[in-house]
Structure 1
Amino acid sequence: MKLVRHGAPGAESAGIVDAHGTVRDVSMLVPDIGPAQLGARTLAALAAIDATRLPAVPPGTRLGCPVGGVGKIVCVGLNYADHARETGLAPPPEPVLFMKATSSLCGPHDAVRIPPSADKVDWEVELGLVIGTRMQGVSEGDALGHLAGYVLANDVSERAWQMERGGQWDKGKSADTFAPVGPWLVTADEIADPHAIDLWLQVNGQRMQSGSTRDFLFGVPAVLAYISRFMTLEPGDLVLTGTPAGVGLGQKPQPRFLRVGDEMRLGASGLGEQRLVCVAG
């Protein structure tokens, strides 16, 4: 099942994608796709609906982040050995964690706003995990049972702010529109193996990233169990699992960063695609 949130920013309604790819409005049954709707019973009830009987959302309607009411965004850094190498860092012995502000969330086709003082804005295609039930000190064997589903995400990053401004990656990760998510929340039952998802990203038509989650240093159960040792994950929280090689920082002979007017297109097998144009912030 593919769930969406459609409508203007801050006024999104719940939706579902039918078998023919048409977005249907389901807001008369559930008010939103958020923490209260991510439990197994509600998801099962939505899956049982004949979506073709619901009203169609007009083509061209904006899609927002497919999860509302996100409490926190926890990210895993350097989770692919090739990405660690291209940034000049050794693969870490355990997961590197940082946060993105929830105010950075935006939809899969919204404009990415480059702040006036930002000179090194970069791209990172990632698999995102949506928590469905509370996680605290869970084992790897139980971890996948706490997931509501998966999303496509772009961990947009300002590298100077991240690496040259006195520490703490968060400040380079959290500007408004630096977390495009979606188009869909794909429920966990539709993804047979989260370690067999192909990821790609292109800038202005040029392929920059091509990777697969099979190359994770730390797989999904390990990441979730690890995070839950240090903080409680609540329904609606997002976990971003890292990016493969090909980011702008790692380009040779010199880094390449995003400029106003650039277009990013990115996708992941089974999780849809994003189209994002960079504008002046």
Structure 2
Amino acid sequence: MEYVFPPPPVVAVPIAESSDAASTRECFAVRRIYCVGRNYAAHAREMGHDPEREPPFFFSKPADAVVYVPPGTTGEFPYPSSTQDVHHEIELVVAIGRAGRDIAVEDALDHVYGYAVGLDMTRRDLQAQAKKMGRPWDTAKGFDHSAPLGPIHPVSRVGHVEHGAIWLEVGSVERQRSDVSALIWSTAETIACLSTLFTLQPGDLIFTGTPEGVAAVARGDVMTGGVEGLGQLKVRVA
């Protein structure tokens, strides 16, 4: 088969501690990115919604929105165009390692390969316009570089992340802090629900939602966030 232009490279995220040598490092090839909206009660309320009345809902980012940030380094997030209000959203990210559809909640964690720390960067002003007009969120959520991500930690090493602190600072000021156990829809419930809408495949990533405290960033800001047991993610707004 011949292509009219070279196909894009596979988007891949290294596995934590797999190897120090790039030539032998194990990587997770990213297929799709799914995101859960308003999955912490306090965040739902700060966005003007009642979490008790809302079933889970989802949106997507393209795989090439991922910007991998190696541990101990500072990644770069280029401030995007066509916006004046970009917000940080720190999240626990689930990496799917086994295919499935209509997965039962009690079986859902068997489909998880590992976990990572990620940022769901958001053009909040474009999102507000889309909500007001009843339009999709693609331009607000799926833009270039909108998914900074740390390495993936396999379940075989860290277990399942069902509780533990999740937090984010901008400079020296803490903006977001909660516990993964405060998710409205747990990882297992999210996987089960999402699998009724899509056939999940190895390589899929699920951003599980962000806690309260989302706010705007400016050029030059340094965001540092993490999830207990998964290390931290550090990103500068370029």
Q: Does 1:17 align with 2:17?
A: yes
**Distance between the aligned counterparts of 2:141 and 2:22, measured in 1?**
33
- Equivalent pairs: percent with the same residue? 31
CA contact (8 A) 2:88 2:214 kept: yes
**Distance between the aligned counterparts of 1:205 and 1:162, measured in 2?**
28
Counterpart of 2:75 in 1: which secondary structure? coil
Ranges in structure 2 where 5+ consecutive residues have no aligned partner: 1-8
In the TM superposition, what are the counterparts of 1:46-195 in structure 2 within 5 Å?
A: 68=29, 70-91=30-51, 92-108=53-69, 109-165=74-130, 166=133, 167-182=135-150, 184-195=151-162
CA contact (8 A) 1:123 1:154 kept: yes
**Distance between the aligned counterparts of 2:61 and 2:85, measured in 1?**
17
In the TM superposition, what are the counterparts of 1:198-277 in structure 2 within 5 Å?
A: 198-248=165-215, 257-277=216-236
Cα gap change, 1:260/1:10 in structure 2, threshold over 3 Å: closer, same or farther?
Answer: farther
Cα gap change, 1:245/1:186 in structure 2, threshold over 3 Å: closer, same or farther?
Answer: same
Instruction: Tell me the alpha carbon deviations over residues 58-87 of structure 1, each in whole angstroms, 9 at most, x when there is no partner.
Output: xxxxxxxxxx3x111000011110000011
Q: Report the residue type matching 1:102 in the other structure.
A: A
**Distance between the aligned counterparts of 1:214 and 1:11, measured in 2?**
30
Counterpart of 1:260 in 2: which secondary structure? coil
Measured after TM superposition, the shift of residue 97 of structure 1 is: 0.7
Range 267-276 or range 89-98, more displaced: 89-98
Measured after TM superposition, the shift of residue 15 of structure 1 is: 6.3
CA contact (8 A) 2:15 2:152 kept: no
**Structure-1 residue corresponding to 2:4:** none
**Structure-1 residue corresponding to 2:27:** 33
Cα gap change, 1:272/1:16 in structure 2, threshold over 3 Å: closer, same or farther?
Answer: closer
Measured after TM superposition, the shift of residue 220 of structure 1 is: 0.8
Structure 1 runs of 4+ with >4 Å offset: 9-16
Measured after TM superposition, the shift of residue 180 of structure 1 is: 0.5
Q: Report the residue type matching 1:93 in the other structure.
A: E
Q: Of the two, which has the highest radius of gyration?
A: 1
Measured after TM superposition, the shift of residue 12 of structure 1 is: 7.4
Cα gap change, 1:140/1:11 in structure 2, threshold over 3 Å: closer, same or farther?
Answer: closer
Ranges in structure 1 where 5+ consecutive residues have no aligned partner: 1-8, 35-67, 249-256
**Distance between the aligned counterparts of 1:11 and 1:102, measured in 2?**
7
TM-score, structure 1 normalization: 0.74
Measured after TM superposition, the shift of residue 274 of structure 1 is: 1.2
**Structure-1 residue corresponding to 2:3:** none
Measured after TM superposition, the shift of residue 93 of structure 1 is: 2.9
Counterpart of 2:196 in 1: which secondary structure? helix
Cα gap change, 1:235/1:260 in structure 2, threshold over 3 Å: closer, same or farther?
Answer: same
- RMSD over aligned CA atoms reads 2.1
Aligned length: 222
